[in-house]
Chain A
């Protein structure tokens, strides 16, 4: 980790519990992660891994009753300790979020123009004309050709792909330093996904914007991020540079996920399923949460929870990490063990 500068975003031992029928259950066990200014980190996991709640904790958008342990720091300031004014500033111009389902996050009765300019007019005191001009520019930038007409339309008149572009424009309009993108393309067609991701990529590059990208798709994350963090059952199990994902991942779960995902270019390589189902954080026992599904698990794995340790240029929370390049097949066949 870089000790010279303060990272733009830092999760420090983040732990989140939610009340379920009178008792608090862990939904995030432990996340230690940093996003440098201008950098992009992909947070990848399956359902119940805690990736979305981790992202939401940055804006304190957690469900009612959530308890947060550890800390989230934005530009050095503790988000958990922020007063209302600082939190508003963070949400207004520090970090902006894009969600999976744009229709759930836009007022269906208001026009696209109202939605985009409201913040500029009410909290920044801009004139309506200037705000509309800004919104028009941004819609063009995200690839919406007939911006003036779109500004007069309502959400129901736009396709999912167009509406997600509007949400990107809405996120950019406050000139944030960090984009929190929570599965922004999961509900879109694959050709639309490629275009929307390209739009996000270009906007980031022009602005030096940092991004925390939440997705279930390892290949997509690797394509648009500098660094990948893989979550399983509420903890980050591996973090490594995106360029090294396919060749140098060390955690059996990361490798199993890579082997389970089909892509059209892999010829006849058979898919390798992972036995069982993804656990949620509250179901994880005392040992490694992946142990029940891991073909390489040993006794130690079921009793002691592994902590992240340095592996090459990444970090892996595994008692028996697979050494880089040793074998890209399923874990457990020809694996190399670091110690023990």
Chain B
């Protein structure tokens, strides 16, 4: 678990992103201690994915900074080697397991490639580490030799997770990483993510629209609405005693036992 005195794994401050006149993200700041787990929750258009992509270096912030262990993330114009040196700082897992793997590359090769690029592992040591990672995410040797099309959505998401944790990143950004999966498979991936976090110091930034799943992965939560973080705190206390009216509405909209759909203001 996080040590209060340790430097933050991630420190984002004053993040802002505009597209023309449209402000997608406004004044978002967040900090993650090593091994911490923060959920960034919001509906479509809330700015949660844009925030995630700025933190992962996939979007340039209009304003604000992203720091990993004190180092500032370089812009998109930085040299490949400089950008590559941040691989161990942040990795990302995307929503669609069918779109995030190369369909011509065997699963084990997609892991080995990342390891060969970012570590000194070669030959049998490389193969050993690849096998270890695939085993860690619950894939068999047979599945390791197959192409992505032979795997189910849940299995592909396991590959994407193995590839992301291969370089032991300080921060893993999970953008709706379980949203596209069947309910029964979703629970498997949530369990896997919990196990991986217990075994490492990697901090999670878990982007989701699903309030129900948050408490199963994250101790902390930040709720985004219209580009801003409108509420943050410990997950259980925010879910039990939300401070913002919007958070309350979000919680009340989740179908559960005894729930009936209610009509709010007309659209």
Contact = CB atoms under 8 A, between A and B. Distances in A.
A145 B264 CA distance: 13
B253 A194 contact: yes
Interface stretch (A28-36, A117-125, A172-180, A217-225): A217-225
B263 A198 contact: yes
B30 interface: no
27 contacts: A46-B183, A47-B182, A165-B267, A193-B255, A194-B255, A194-B264, A195-B261, A195-B264, A195-B267, A217-B255, A219-B259, A222-B257, A224-B261, A246-B257, A262-B210, A262-B215, A263-B212, A263-B255, A264-B212, A267-B236, A268-B215, A271-B216, A273-B190, A274-B185, A274-B187, A274-B188, A277-B185
Given A46-B184, A263-B254, A273-B191, A189 B267 contact: no
Interface residues of A, number: 51
A169 to B, nearest CB: 13
Nearest to B44: A189
A81 to B, nearest CB: 35
A260 interface: yes
A144 interface: yes
B42 to A, nearest CB: 9
Contacts of B209: 189-190
B266 interface: yes
A136 to B, nearest CB: 14
Interface string B203-226: 000000111111110000000000
Interface of B: 43-44, 152-155, 182-188, 190-191, 209-216, 236, 239, 249-257, 259-264, 266-267
Contacts of A190: 43, 209-211, 250, 253-254
Contacts of B259: 219, 223
Interface in A164-210: 165, 189-199, 201-202
| 7 closest residue pairs by CB, A with B | A197-B261, A273-B187, A262-B212, A274-B184, A189-B43, A198-B263, A46-B182
A51 interface: no
B263 A143 contact: yes
Interface of A: 46-47, 143-145, 159-162, 165, 189-199, 201-202, 216-217, 219-220, 222-224, 246, 256-257, 260-268, 270-275, 277-278, 293
Contact of A270 (B212, B216, B249, B251): B216
Contacts of B260: 201, 223
Nearest to B242: A264
Contacts of B155: 277
A33 to B, nearest CB: 21
Counting chain B CB atoms within 10 Å of each CB, the highest count among A46, A145, A222, A263 belongs to A263
A179 B236 CA distance: 39
B257 A264 contact: no
A96 B153 CA distance: 32
B184 A278 contact: yes
Contacts, number: 137
B256 A263 contact: yes
A189 B236 CA distance: 22
Contacts of B213: 262
B263 A191 contact: no
A277 B262 CA distance: 34
A173 B107 CA distance: 51
Given A271-B216, A273-B190, A293-B184, 16 more contacts: A143-B266, A189-B44, A191-B43, A191-B250, A192-B43, A217-B183, A256-B184, A260-B184, A261-B187, A262-B213, A264-B251, A264-B256, A272-B187, A273-B185, A275-B188, A277-B184
Contacts of A160: 44
A222 B257 CA distance: 8
Contacts of A265: 254, 256-257
A263 B251 CA distance: 9
Contact of A223 (B184, B214, B239, B255): B255
A201 B260 CA distance: 10
Contacts of A219: 255-257, 259
A179 to B, nearest CB: 15
Nearest to B184: A274
Contacts of A199: 263
Contacts of B236: 267-268
A160 B261 CA distance: 18
Nearest to A265: B256
Contacts of A261: 183, 187, 212
Nearest to B151: A277
A275 B155 CA distance: 12
B155 to A, nearest CB: 7
A159 B260 CA distance: 24
Contacts of A191: 43, 249-250, 253, 264
A28 to B, nearest CB: 18
A264 B211 contact: yes
Counting chain B CB atoms within 10 Å of each CB, the highest count among A191, A198, A222, A246 belongs to A191
